Chains A and B, each alone.
Chain A
Amino acid sequence: DVVMTQTPVSLSVSLGGQVSISCRSSQSLVHNNGNTYLSWYLQKPGQSPQLLIYKVSNRFSGISDRFSGSGSGTDFTLKISRVEPDDLGVYYCGQGTQYPYTFGAGTKLELK
């Protein structure tokens, strides 16, 4: 299975600040069809994960442009700008290029 490694494990941020979360995969996530199936999710306390970004850099429906994804191959980044209270929770990266789908261990975003 593809191993997804997220860093850091936790992050403290001030409201209005900017943060970056890194996700690395043990193998290239470029599919045979040319797409890269790397997604980012946010799990708020007591809720199920919600999709933020799919295929590296595409924001899901209704997701603020404060969230941006980038990267290629095995190295990916999620940036959150102008952090708001509703952004707090655990962020996960996930890959769907190779079956089975696998996830990173998560990055907890907290208020400083």
Chain B
Amino acid sequence: QVQLQQSGAELAKPGSSVKISCKASGYTFTSYYISWIKQTTGQGLEYIGYINTGSGGTNYNEKFKGKATLTVDKSSSTAFMQLSSLTPDDSAVYYCARSTLDYWGQGVMVTVSS
């Protein structure tokens, strides 16, 4: 069965970076893009962007350009998202999802606090 297993919760200091992972199983990894979504109580669900798992090409929501960097390791069927220059506004749950958002990971809570 299709599964997207994300890494564990992160506590980070303002100005630092975090890199979270999303390991796919149960399907041909390179046949589907991986999308990333941010969820907060205030802003709801926000689409960050996606990565073409075959070519490594990316497409970011304008709002998240410069904040998120998406990469992929085909050998381990894992997608990554690095969030940089963290501020408290980046505190959220971050989900990965298969291309058309049909399957979602369990989410990673990122907390930015000094």
Residues of A within 8 A of B (CB): 39, 41, 47-51, 54, 60, 92, 94, 96, 99-106
Contacts and interface: CB of A to CB of B under 8 A. Distances in A.
Nearest to A99: B59
B105 interface: yes
Contacts, number: 43
Interface of B: 35, 44-47, 49, 59, 61-63, 95, 100-107
B101 to A, nearest CB: 6
Nearest to B107: A48
B3 to A, nearest CB: 12
Nearest to B60: A100
Nearest to B61: A100
A50 B104 CA distance: 7
Contacts of B101: 39, 41, 49, 51, 94, 96, 101
A105 B63 CA distance: 18
Contact of A48 (B46, B61, B102, B106): B106
Contacts of B45: 49, 92, 94, 103
B102 to A, nearest CB: 5
Contacts of B103: 51
B102 A102 contact: no
Contact of B104 (A48, A101, A102): A48
Contacts of A60: 102
